[in-house]
Amino acid sequence: MIRFSLRQLTFLSETARCGGIAPAARNLNISPAAISAALDKLEAVTGLTLFDRFPARGMRLTRAGKEFLVDAEDLLKRAGALDRHALELAKGEIGTIRVGTHFAMAQQIVLPSVLTFRDRFPRVRIEVIEKDFPSLVAALDAGEVDALVVFNQGFDAERFDVETLKVLPPLVLLPATHPLAMAESIQLQDLSNIPYIAVSRAGPGPSYLDLLRAAGLDPEVPLTSQSREMVQAYVGKGLGFTLVGFPPSRNLTIEGDIVVTRPLAQEIGQFEVVLAMGRRLQQTELITAFLDMCRAQI
């Protein structure tokens, strides 16, 4: 247990600087008796004689007092810095936000939100984590992230608050050179002889391929990748088609090939883009501000 207080150390520092209790009391706007009692108690609990006292000439630190004051003033500086840090945290001026997401959400929603947020809160650290859906849900449940921006693949309503940002029907992604790229919308039967390039399953919910099969289309799947960028690159090279929620940036693949997105003529299902937060976790003003910026991207 710490046997002395920051208040006592403040009185020690000011008395040493002023060379006496009376001027220190005036500077601190406190009674001399209060300072005298605090210093007597500080000496009692530390077992040190901190001052030589001269009735006509004031007070002077002893050798032990000088050594003790060095550490005391360092502690006061660190306590002051901690107090300022706490005020900044309370005002939402500093802190850390941790957000979990998928690649598509990171590109379309989270990245623009991060850039806007950093302009407004330059001293706030933002950590973005991209993982598969089960890993992200586990991280949210454990308090390792503050919120998720994801496709909804199933949340426990008793543990999480989920807000739908947007409902996305799937879009057909094709190379710009494909004959169907000129169509306003694409019929399912027009895709029957085109290979499907699949993204590896990343969660418990249905995939785009599952939606196609449920609608009666069971395409050949020659290529599967964990990377959406690689899937889009395969499409750009004319190796097949895929379904996406968002068009690639500038309609270009990582290989520089031009691709296009077209809606399906038939409804086969939809995916929800959601914000998810743990019900047990308290949302700070910083997190609320960041999530508001995510909402503004939709």
CATH 1.10.10.10 at 6-91, yes or no: yes
Its pTM stands at 0.66
- CA 72 to CA 14: how far, in whole Å? 11
Tokens representing 89 are: 């945290």
Residue type at position 188:
L
> Model confidence at 201, in pLDDT bands (50, 70, 90)?
confident
Average pLDDT on 99-119 reads 88
Let me know if domain 170-269 sits in CATH 3.40.190.10. yes
Q: Which residues pair with 280 in a beta bridge?
A: none
The whole-angstrom separation of Cα 236 and Cα 169 is 21
Task: Return the pLDDT at 86.
Answer: 74
Q: Are 225 and 199 in contact (CB under 8 A)?
A: yes
Instruction: Count the Cβ atoms, other than its own, within 10 Å of residue 25.
Output: 20
Does pLDDT of 127 surpass 70? yes
Q: Residue written as tokens 């968002």? A: 246
| Mean of all residue pLDDT scores within the chain | 90
SS3 state at 178? coil
State the CB neighbour count (10 A cutoff) for residue 203.
18
List strand residue ranges (DSSP E) for 62-196, in order: 95-101, 124-130, 147-151, 160-168, 171-175
How far is 159 from 182, CA to CA, in rounded Å? 46
Residue 54: the pLDDT is 85
Domain definitions of the chain by residue range: 6-91, 95-167+272-296, 170-269
Q: Which amino acid is at 200?
A: S
Instruction: Report whether 183 contacts 191 (CB < 8 A).
Output: no
22, containing H or E segment: helix 21-28
Could you check whether 95-167+272-296 and 170-269 share the same CATH topology? Answer: yes
| Residue 57 predicted with pLDDT over 80 | no
- DSSP 8-class letter at 186: B
CATH entry, 95-167+272-296, from 3.40.190.10, 3.30.200.20, 3.40.1360.10, 3.40.50.1370: 3.40.190.10
What's the average model confidence in pLDDT over 273-286? 86
The pLDDT > 90 percentage for the chain reads 67
Task: Please check whether residue 78 is in contact with residue 89, taking contact to mean a CB–CB distance below 8 angstroms.
Answer: no
pLDDT band (50, 70, 90) for residue 89 = low
Tokens of 195: 């290979």
Residue 249 pLDDT > 70:
yes
Average pLDDT rounded to a whole number, residues 151-169: 92
Spell 210-245 as b/e; 16+ CB within 10 A means b. Answer: ebbeeeebebeeebebeebebbbbbbbeebbbbbbb
